[in-house]
């Protein structure tokens, strides 16, 4: 199977999901930092013609509606070994929890790598599925999110609506 994509309207705005073969490779918002050119996404398909993208759309919709806390999709992000090490740690952060760039740096071997961790988190091509919105500043502040800080806040609110002002999106 080839590279293909679907654009789905969500409560956070349009989201582009990209599949490569039998895996989900990318998830981007319209004005996403580091969004590749459109031609890198392959042809647009409809969810009714692609079982994998259909399942990704369903799971994303369930998550955004508060009915899902984990994703069960074959994911295959492109990145170097350091990025994958960081993304594996990010994937392990449970829904409703957060971590910091410094803690991740410690887990990869050296707290002084926090800025490099930040770059790896920012380069995550599977935001939401690899929940980089759960990574916050050392003081708990919301910092950097390729989809924008308003979306980061909204995603955290979806996961902890009682603690963050349920229902507010932007």
Please state the domain extents for the chain: 3-64, 81-160
- Catalytic residue at 132? yes
pLDDT digits (tens, 9 = 90+) for 44-96: 997 678 999 999 999 999 999 999 999 999 999 999 999 999 999 999 999 98
Task: Give the per-residue pLDDT at 1.
Answer: 58
DSSP state of 35: P
Task: Give the per-residue pLDDT at 34.
Answer: 80
Cα–Cα distances in angstroms (integers) from residue 111 to residues 18, 116, 154, in the given order: 33, 10, 28
Catalytic residue chosen out of the listed positions 132, 135, 146, 158: 132
SS3 assignment, position 45: coil
pLDDT > 60? residue 168: no
pLDDT digits (tens, 9 = 90+) for 113-157: 999 999 999 999 999 999 999 999 888 888 888 888 999 999 999
Task: Give the per-residue pLDDT at 10.
Answer: 94
* 48, two tokens: 């009714």
CATH of 81-160, one of 1.10.10.10, 3.40.640.10, 1.10.1750.10, 1.10.260.40: 1.10.10.10
**CA 65 to chain CA centroid, nearest Å:** 16
């Amino acid at each position: 199977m080839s590279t293909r994509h679907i654009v789905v309207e969500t409560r956070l705005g349009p989201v582009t999901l990209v599949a490569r073969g039998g895996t989900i490779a990318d998830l981007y918002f319209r004005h996403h930092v580091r969004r590749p050119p459109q031609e890198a996404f392959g042809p647009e398909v409809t969810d009714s013609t692609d079982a994998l993208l259909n399942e990704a759309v369903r799971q994303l919709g369930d998550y955004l509606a508060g009915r899902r806390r984990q994703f069960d999709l074959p994911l295959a992000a492109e990145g170097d070994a350091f990025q994958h090490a960081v993304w594996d740690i990010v994937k392990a952060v449970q829904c409703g929890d957060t971590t910091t760039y410094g803690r991740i740096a410690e887990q990869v071997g050296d707290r002084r790598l926090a800025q490099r961790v930040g770059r790896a988190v920012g380069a995550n091509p599977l935001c939401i599925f690899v929940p980089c919105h759960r990574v916050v500043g050392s003081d708990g502040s919301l910092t950097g999110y390729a989809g924008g800080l308003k979306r980061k806040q909204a995603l955290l609110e979806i996961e902890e609506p009682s603690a963050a002002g349920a229902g507010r999106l932007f």
